[in-house]
Amino acid sequence: MSRVVGVLALQGAFEAHQHVLRDLGVETVQVRTSADLELVDALVMPGGESTTMSHLLQTSGLFDAIDARLKQGMPVFGTCAGMILLAKVVLDGRSDQRSFGAIDIDVKRNAYGRQIDSFETDIALDGLVDDFHAVFIRAPQVSRIGEDVTVLARHKEDVVLARQGSVMVASFHPELTNDARIHSMFIGLLQEV
């Protein structure tokens, strides 16, 4: 059975995620409305600006619809701002910023610094032989992980890729590389659901 992966398309690098998923042979849909969300089996929440994305999720009416699907077990992959939106706690979020609490982690926004402090580095991925070249842009930092969260990769001591059930998050941008292995890991979650 063919599965459709939605890519939240309110802001951020959603087209880059679609390109990677299509190269893997996955059908994608840009999700901007609740009707779009009904068409998908899984969702990618891209990077962008987390407070803006939180606001757009509210004003578009998508927040509650996504929240309901997450509670039903829909697989979701959040990168950078997507990680922030999925976290249980955003330590330095604005008072009007909402997150889904879909993964038991606490995050700090832009913890690695401003845009000028962005960097690239190789990280070891759990279960994979070769390192992954990761792109960090104003990346969030995980400050706490719950006991049911599996760490899939670290940069130095920091958790940068993690999973809890059908929720996967990365503090970096795997869609900005030519390496589709992390997206493949996410697609593997669809087999489990």
Task: Tell me the domain boundaries of the chain.
Answer: 4-192
* Cα distance between residue 20 and residue 30, in whole Å: 14
Condensed to tens digits (0 to 9), the pLDDT of residues 181-190 reads 999 999 998 8
Helix or strand (DSSP H, E) at 16: helix 14-23
Given a cut of 90, whether residue 13 has pLDDT beyond it is no
Active site positions, annotated: 80, 173, 175
Please name every residue paired with 120 in a beta bridge, in sequence order, or none if there are none.
135
Check pLDDT > 80 for residue 192: no
pLDDT 10s digits, 128-171: 789 999 999 888 999 999 999 999 999 999 999 999 999 999 99
83 in helix, strand or coil? helix
What integer best gives the mean pLDDT of the chain? Answer: 91
CA 105 – CA 87 distance, rounded (Å) = 5
Question: Is 90 exceeded by the pLDDT of residue 173?
Answer: yes
The pTM of the whole model exceeds 0.85? yes
Its CATH class, for the domain covering 4-192, is alpha beta
